[in-house]
């Protein structure tokens, strides 16, 4: 860890960089060096360096520590340091939206089960109508599969040889400084990525990655009432195992439910606010608006309503998660005050002023306070 580069330098930002600057810098560098995209020899190493820098600088507490103490990040934790042993958990999904990426790190699973391929996560956006009605979806994805030429080994003609740095073990014992301590830790061999074998020469078709991308059609059903950020797992559709030996990872499709222009969702209920005129509140009114189920929503405002009252329409919300019935639509009444009035309306309102606003302001305040106490 002695010759670690400065995190700001790694991300090519200056010390005053904002959260957004950091995110942008990370995003473009991660794209450039993502091992699935880049064929540079040091892409994976670069990528890890970028991840680590971003993981620390995007966490305000860690960034503060780093600014003060540098890489050792002393602070209160004797094992401090940022390099640590574990992965850095950055939510790449958040940063890359719909892009396909492999979950390269936070790699607990990878460490436990060496030969399993990485999982892949894609996002799929649907609207509220689909939450209501369900839907059968079909999406086209470029998914990695084992390179046919080398059967996923990454080696030309499948020719591999024992990795010499680790003697075929895939692991190496490394002496590491952790804060004030020196520890011997067992690490994955960098040369062979823990496989124990390396290619005699790289497969020219896949440039040694062992993978090729092929368009595949993925079909799945949107369950009724699906929640935002539900993940659906498709076994074995993820990245092939390293060197083509072992189980492929899984593909996760995360359902993203688009925001509706006026409905807010609360489980199976839909909440909206409805701006209505003062006379509608006073005299009552029936208002029709189009609804996601195709039938108009008929909202009956009783006379003498107040802004802040709610009207509940049963069984017009989203399907209940138990699959039986639908939630409610809850309508919050709001007073709509027109920004401009024409002369005639203004005059008419002037005439109503006295009727609607009793002169005795104190009596009005008392009555209102009394109302609130009794309700
Ligand atoms: Zn090795
Ligand atoms: Zn190949």
Question: Is residue 128 scored above 90 in pLDDT?
Answer: yes
Distance (angstroms) between ligand 2 centre and the Cα of 88 equals: 30
How many Å apart are CA 343 and CA 331, to the nearest integer?
Answer: 32
**Tokens for 336?**
């709509």
**Which residues, in sequence order, are CB contacts of 146 under 8 Å at separation 6+?**
152, 210, 211, 212, 240, 244
3 state DSSP class of 289: strand
Beta strands 171-178 and 181-188 are antiparallel
Distance (angstroms) between ligand 1 centre and the Cα of 303 equals: 79
Phi first, then psi, for residue 95 (nearest 5°) are -85, -25
Mark whether 311 and 350 lie in a shared domain: yes
**Tokens for 326?**
């639908």
Distance (angstroms) between ligand 2 centre and the Cα of 244 equals: 10
Residue with the bigger pLDDT between 49 and 129: it is 129
Distance (angstroms) between ligand 1 centre and the Cα of 288 equals: 70
**Tokens for 2?**
């002695």
Distance (angstroms) between ligand 2 centre and the Cα of 178 equals: 39
Beta strands 329-335 and 269-276 are parallel
How many Å apart are CA 104 and CA 189, to the nearest integer?
Answer: 16
Question: Is residue 92 scored above 80 in pLDDT?
Answer: no
Q: Is residue 159 part of a domain?
A: no
pLDDT above 70 covers a percentage of the chain that reads 86
The verdict on pTM exceeding 0.75 is no
**Which residues, in sequence order, are CB contacts of 162 under 8 Å at separation 6+?**
168, 196, 197, 198
- The model's pLDDT over 100-117, given as tens digits with 9 standing for 90+, comes to 343 333 333 334 335 788
Decide if 243 contacts 197 (C-beta within 8 A). Answer: yes
Distance (angstroms) between ligand 1 centre and the Cα of 110 equals: 16
- Note the pLDDT of residue 73: 60
Q: Is residue 167 part of a domain?
A: no
How many helices (H) and strands (E) the chain has is answered by: 10, 16
Domain containing residue 365: 264-374
Residue with tokens 């794209």: 31
In terms of Cα–Cα distance, which of 253, 283, 257, 284 is closest to 270?
257
- Note the pLDDT of residue 78: 34
pLDDT above 90 covers a percentage of the chain that reads 45
Average pLDDT over residues 157-166: 87
Q: Is residue 47 part of a domain?
A: yes
Distance (angstroms) between ligand 2 centre and the Cα of 345 equals: 78
Surface-to-core class of residue 352, CB atoms within 10 Å of its CB (0-12 exposed, 13-18 middle, 19+ buried): exposed
Q: Is residue 64 part of a domain?
A: yes
Mark whether 132 and 240 lie in a shared domain: yes
Decide if 296 contacts 289 (C-beta within 8 A). Answer: yes
Question: Is residue 272 scored above 80 in pLDDT?
Answer: yes
Indicate which ligand has the atom closest to the C-alpha of 206.
2
Cite the beta strand spans of 258-344 per DSSP E.
264-266, 269-276, 285-289, 297-301, 310-313, 329-335
Distance (angstroms) between ligand 1 centre and the Cα of 328 equals: 60
**Number of independent structural domains in the chain:** 3
Mark whether 339 and 240 lie in a shared domain: no
Confidence of residue 330 (pLDDT cuts 50, 70, 90): very high
Mark whether 231 and 124 lie in a shared domain: yes
Distance (angstroms) between ligand 2 centre and the Cα of 160 equals: 12
Distance (angstroms) between ligand 2 centre and the Cα of 242 equals: 12
Mark whether 278 and 345 lie in a shared domain: yes
How many Å apart are CA 186 and CA 294, to the nearest integer?
Answer: 61
How many Å apart are CA 103 and CA 250, to the nearest integer?
Answer: 11
Distance (angstroms) between ligand 1 centre and the Cα of 358 equals: 88
Question: Is residue 356 scored above 70 in pLDDT?
Answer: yes
Q: Chain centroid to CA 312: how far?
A: 32
Distance (angstroms) between ligand 2 centre and the Cα of 172 equals: 27
Mark whether 110 and 2 lie in a shared domain: no
- The model's pLDDT over 56-76, given as tens digits with 9 standing for 90+, comes to 888 888 888 888 878 776 333
Q: How many CB atoms lie within 10 A of CB 354?
A: 9
How many Å apart are CA 333 and CA 133, to the nearest integer?
Answer: 28
User: Average pLDDT over the chain, rounded to whole?
Assistant: 83
CATH number of the domain to which 325 belongs? 2.60.260.20
Question: Is residue 372 scored above 90 in pLDDT?
Answer: no
Q: Is residue 199 part of a domain?
A: no
Confidence of residue 1 (pLDDT cuts 50, 70, 90): very low
Indicate which ligand has the atom closest to the C-alpha of 166.
1
Question: Is residue 84 scored above 80 in pLDDT?
Answer: no
Q: Is residue 333 part of a domain?
A: yes
How many Å apart are CA 218 and CA 33, to the nearest integer?
Answer: 28
Mark whether 274 and 354 lie in a shared domain: yes
Question: Is residue 97 scored above 50 in pLDDT?
Answer: no
Indicate which ligand has the atom closest to the C-alpha of 207.
2
Average pLDDT over residues 190-212: 87
- Note the pLDDT of residue 172: 87
Domain stops at, among 257, 288, 310: 257
Indicate which ligand has the atom closest to the C-alpha of 191.
1
């Amino acid at each position: 860890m002695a010759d670690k580069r400065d995190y700001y330098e790694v991300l090519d930002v200056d010390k005053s960089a904002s959260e957004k600057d950091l995110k942008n810098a990370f995003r473009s560098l991660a794209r450039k060096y993502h091992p699935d995209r880049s064929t540079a020899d040091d892409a994976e190493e670069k990528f890890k360096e970028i991840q680590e820098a971003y993981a620390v600088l995007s966490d305000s507490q860690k960034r503060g520590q780093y600014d003060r103490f540098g890489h050792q990040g002393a602070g209160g934790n004797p094992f401090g340091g940022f390099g640590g042993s574990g992965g850095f958990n950055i939510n790449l999904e958040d940063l890359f939206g719909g892009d396909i990426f492999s979950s390269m790190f936070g790699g607990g699973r990878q460490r436990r089960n060496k030969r399993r391929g990485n999982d892949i996560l894609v996002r799929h956006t649907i609207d509220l109508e689909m939450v209501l009605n369900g839907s059968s979806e079909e999406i086209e994805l470029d998914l990695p599969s084992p390179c046919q030429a080398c059967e996923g080994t990454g080696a030309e003609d499948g020719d591999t040889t024992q990795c010499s740095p680790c003697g075929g073990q895939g692991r190496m014992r490394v002496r590491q400084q952790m804060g004030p301590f020196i520890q011997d830790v067992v690490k994955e061999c960098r040369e062979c990525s823990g496989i124990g074998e390396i290619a005699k020469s790289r497969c020219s078709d896949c440039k040694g990655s062992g993978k090729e991308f092929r368009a595949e059609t993925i079909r799945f059903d949107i369950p009724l009432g699906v929640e935002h950020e539900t993940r659906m797992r498709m076994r074995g559709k993820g990245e092939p195992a390293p060197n083509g030996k072992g189980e492929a990872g899984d593909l996760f499709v995360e359902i993203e439910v688009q925001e509706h222009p006026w409905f807010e969702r609360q489980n199976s209920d839909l909440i909206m606010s409805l701006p209505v005129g003062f006379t509608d509140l006073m005299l009552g009114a029936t208002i029709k608006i189009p609804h996601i189920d195709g039938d108009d929503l008929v909202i009956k405002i009783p006379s003498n309503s107040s802004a802040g009252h709610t009207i509940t329409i049963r069984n017009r919300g989203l399907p209940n998660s138990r699959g039986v019935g639908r939630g409610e639509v809850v309508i919050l009444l709001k007073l709509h005050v027109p920004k401009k009035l024409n002369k005639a309306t203004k005059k008419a309102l002037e005439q109503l002023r006295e009727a609607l606003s009793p002169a005795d302001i104190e009596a009005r305040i008392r009555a209102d306070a009394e109302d609130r106490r009794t309700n």
